[in-house]
């Protein structure tokens, strides 16, 4: 009888511990980009087919990344969170992206400290030039802790995203090509210049940007 009680008590501790260890705390967890160290903005282009550029070249280097540190309510890192449990979208709901089923994948499972990086491609459409992007882990957007125990602001990462799917319906079509023509051959400073179509990040919309759009024409994730 005594042994049975000890076993039951141990089992309860194991169950309680495993649930606690796996629960993402959206306030204690945090995220950022490697570009912040250079005081630069992370810029990359996405396509619904997930075949546009890698995040890794996003601020001039070739090893740029988004980092995430996932902690539980006790401030302990959660290890082993799957590659596909991360989500990235606009902080401003009016700029929400069209995202495909698995928009981004982390480079590895979270390590013993709950950390991982994201430097691959992203599948989706739309355009975000300002306002930043937040990251969600297992469906939970991460919040900044302004004062101890008080989380009131989304962590908005300084990220710019463009896509040949300008309209953000997860299809690259004529509806995206027509507004592209309106800004073609224009550079930054011109009244009708639209940075959303500058896929090459050189502050001009030119033939090289058209080539990107043409290459991804008709791409979708449906």
CB of 170 to Ca ion, least distance (A): 7
CA dihedral 105, 110, 114, 120 (to 10 degrees): -30
Strand, helix or coil for residue 131: coil
Q: Residues 55, 42: contact at Cβ < 8 Å?
A: yes
Q: Is 43 in the site for Ca ion (CB under 5 A)?
A: no
CB of 39 to Ca ion, least distance (A): 23
Q: Is 145 in the site for Ca ion (CB under 5 A)?
A: no
CB of 220 to Ca ion, least distance (A): 9
Q: Is 25 in the site for Ca ion (CB under 5 A)?
A: no
Q: Is 167 in the site for Ca ion (CB under 5 A)?
A: yes
Q: Is 69 in the site for Ca ion (CB under 5 A)?
A: no
User: Segment near Ca ion (CB under 5 A), from 29-37, 61-69, 139-147, 167-175?
Assistant: 167-175
CB of 216 to Ca ion, least distance (A): 11
CB of 209 to Ca ion, least distance (A): 4
CB of 132 to Ca ion, least distance (A): 22
Spell out where the chain has E strands.
30-33, 42-45, 66-69, 86-90, 98-99, 115-118, 124-125, 133-137, 140-141, 143-147, 150-154, 159-162
* CA gap 136, 143 in Å, rounded: 9
Q: Residues 166, 176: contact at Cβ < 8 Å?
A: yes
Strand, helix or coil for residue 116: strand
Q: Is 215 in the site for Ca ion (CB under 5 A)?
A: no
Pick from 36, 169, 180, 215: which binds Ca ion (CB under 5 A)?
169
Q: Is 26 in the site for Ca ion (CB under 5 A)?
A: no
Q: Is 153 in the site for Ca ion (CB under 5 A)?
A: no
Pick from 200, 215, 217, 220: which binds Ca ion (CB under 5 A)?
200
Q: Is 85 in the site for Ca ion (CB under 5 A)?
A: no
Report which secondary-structure segment, H or E, holds 115.
Answer: strand 115-118
* CA gap 52, 212 in Å, rounded: 9
Give φ, ψ of 152 to 5 degrees: -125, -15
* CA gap 196, 147 in Å, rounded: 36
Nearer to Ca ion, 43 or 158 (CB): 43
CB of 207 to Ca ion, least distance (A): 9
Residues that bind Ca ion (CB under 5 A): 165, 167, 169, 171, 176, 198, 200, 202, 204, 209
């Amino acid at each position: 009888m005594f042994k049975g009680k000890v076993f039951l008590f141990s089992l309860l501790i194991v169950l309680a511990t495993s649930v606690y260890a796996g629960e993402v705390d959206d306030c204690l967890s945090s995220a950022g980009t490697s570009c912040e160290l250079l005081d630069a903005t992370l810029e990359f282009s996405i396509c619904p087919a997930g075949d546009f550029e890698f995040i890794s070249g996003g601020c001039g280097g070739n090893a740029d990344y988004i980092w995430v540190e996932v902690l539980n309510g006790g401030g302990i890192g959660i290890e082993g969170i799957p590659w596909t449990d991360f989500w990235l979208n606009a902080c401003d709901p009016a700029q929400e992206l069209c995202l495909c089923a698995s928009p981004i994948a982390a480079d590895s499972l979270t390590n013993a400290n709950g950390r991982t990086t994201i430097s691959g491609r992203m599948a989706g459409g739309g355009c975000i030039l300002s306002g930043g992007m937040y990251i969600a882990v297992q469906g939970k957007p991460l919040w900044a802790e302004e004062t101890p125990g008080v989380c009131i602001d989304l962590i908005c990462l300084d990220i710019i995203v463009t896509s040949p799917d300008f309209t953000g319906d997860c299809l690259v079509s004529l509806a995206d090509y027509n507004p592209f023509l309106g800004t073609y051959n224009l550079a930054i400073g011109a009244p009708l210049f639209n940075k959303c179509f500058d896929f090459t990040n050189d502050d001009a919309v030119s033939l090289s940007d058209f080539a990107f759009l043409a290459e991804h024409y008709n791409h979708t994730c449906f």
